[in-house]
Structure 1
Amino acid sequence: MRIFACKVRRIIIAIDGYAATGKSTTARGVAQALDYLHIDSGAMYRAVAWYLWQQGIKTVQPEKLPEWLTAFSLHLEREGEEMVVYVGDRRLDEELRRPEISAFASEVSAVPWVRQRLIAEQRRLGQHGGVVMDGRDIGTVVFPHAELKIFMCADIAARVQRRSQELRARGMPADPEAIRRELLERDQRDETRPISPLRKAPDARVLDTTHLTIPQQIEKVINWAKELIYAPASF
């Protein structure tokens, strides 16, 4: 006689993709629905960029970063399903979403010395599963063996509209043409950087968000995840 049961697994969900496709919002919603931990890897790079910006450093010089970051202290604390970013004793939130910090973070993240250290921390945080992590190299570099890998994309018009809405919601100016230019420049940097370039993992599922609402995006990912979380097991 064989008895079939439903084995519940705590998996790693890796979400990669282009800027302004809804990665972090989707990852956060999925984590809340599954009672998983959400880790926004991009926020970690933006924290480094913010720290340098606060020191008046606005141009990346890779050979000087170890010296500039000697006093840099990054730690993450869990609040509900979220990991909150602290630099020193300062909690960072909206500071990390400023356009100039996001743009600078793209340059900072291309420095191997920075990536190696943050990737090690990301792996430590997600090593036991039960994690939704979003970024640009999660499924290809950080967790190449993640059970569920997703690559998010959208056409540029949809991405511009999404980013414009985000900025206006924060009371910030939103120039569509400037946003379009910034997104395309970001794509170019992310796709061509020598270390951990943005690319789709061979076994990643593509999620085109051009015509999807955030709830629809979240629902799709949850359905994919449940196929793996509630895997049948026989005894």
Structure 2
Amino acid sequence: MSFSVAIDGPAGAGKSTIAKEIAKRLGYIYVDTGAMYRAMALYMIRKNIKPDETDKMSLASKEVDITIEYYNGEQLVILNGENVNPFIRSEEVGNMASVSSANKDVRFKLVDLQRQLASKADVIMDGRDIGTYVLPNANIKIYLTASSKVRAKRRYEELTQKGLSCNIEEIEKDIIERDRRDSTREFAPLKQAEDAILIDSSDMSIEQVINTVIKMVNGGNK
């Protein structure tokens, strides 16, 4: 029997960092749903599809092949045969992903692949609607959040470390707007599943969050 862990939460809460490290320590497969949506968004941008062109998004989603592969322990996001890891972390792609992920055809395409992965192996998956929609029967569900100020500060530090120039107030404004968009969308909105455990990481270190989740997994996987 495969075991699944679902981690949901808003943008910048640290879901991916924490899920990747837990997967490594427990030997689970990390399914980076956000990266899959970002790869889809990158495809839309390359096709010059605008955020309001929903019909074009629906059509384009049918011709996209997105897979996740592991090579020397590194996760590769493959878009139509191309490793797109270097291109999917920009703000432009992130904003397009937030818009295009609200498109039902885009979501159906990716959700099907994500469920197939979870049915075959022990997985940890993070996103906006994993516990509520993608894996409603996940063994462990966590809702990971932090204040918008803390999330903006983390993002600001991440970008400045890469040598990118950015404005912390603008980043926080983007985060608040993305939260609003993700939680009010009609289809599979961002929300805490009724049976999910809330973890607010505003005053926690990454290691503290990781240890908290691993204890939950070890307690539930007996």
TM-score, normalization by structure 2: 0.94
Q: 1:225 aligns with which of 204, 209, 217?
A: 217
Partner of 2:204: 212
CA contact (8 A) 1:12 1:130 kept: yes
Mapped partners of 2:120, 2:63: distance in 1: 30
* Partner Cα distance (1:63, 1:48) in 2: 15
Does the CA contact (< 8 Å) of 1:14 and 1:148 recur in 2? Answer: yes
Tell me the residue number matched to 2:53: 61
Please say which structure displays the higher CA radius of gyration. 1
How far does the alpha carbon of each residue in 1:143-179 deviate from its partner, in whole angstroms, 9 at most, with x for none?
1010100001111111111111111222222210110
What residue number does 2:99 align with? 107
Q: Which residue of 2 aligns with 1:169?
A: 161
Aligned to 2:30: 38
Question: Which residue matches 1:6?
Answer: none
Determine if contact 2:2/2:119 at 8 Å carries over to the other structure: no
**Residue in 2 that maps onto 1:188:** 180
Find out whether 1:14 has 2:23 as its counterpart: no
- Structure 1 residues without counterparts, runs of 5 or longer: 1-8
**What fraction of aligned residue pairs are identical, expressed as a percent?**
36
**Corresponding residue pairs, total:** 222
Higher RCO, 1 or 2 (CA under 8 Å, sep at least 6)? 1
Give the deviation of 1:70 after TM superposition: 5.2
5 Å-filtered alignment, 1:146-161, equals 146-161=138-153
| Counterparts in 2 of 1:224 and 1:82: CA distance versus 1, 3 Å | farther
Structure 1 window deviating more from structure 2 (139-148 vs 78-87): it is: 78-87
For 2:116 and 2:216, locate their aligned partners in 1 and report how far apart those are by CA, in whole Å: 25
- 8 Å CA contact 2:49–2:57 kept in 1: the answer is no
Query: 2-side partners of 1:94 and 1:118: how far apart?
Result: 21
Please give the secondary structure, in 1, of the residue aligned with 2:64. coil
- Is the 2:2–2:118 Cα contact (8 Å) retained in structure 1? no
- Could you state the TM-score of these two structures normalised by the residue count of structure 1? 0.89
1:52 is aligned to 44
Name whichever structure is richer in strand by fraction: 1
CA distance in structure 2 between the partners assigned to 1:16 and 1:214 by the alignment: 16
Q: Distance in 1 between matches of 2:188 and 2:199?
A: 21
CA RMSD of aligned residues (A): 1.6
Q: Deviations over 1:54-108 (max 9, x none)?
A: 1222323222224334543222212366542111222111311101100110000
Q: Counterpart amino acid of 2:209?
A: Q
Structure 2: tracts of 5 or more residues without a match: none
Give the 3 Å change call, closer, same or farther, for CA 70–124 of structure 1 in structure 2.
closer
2:17 is aligned, of 25, 31, 44, to 25
- Say which is worse superposed, 76-85 or 151-160, in terms of deviation: 76-85
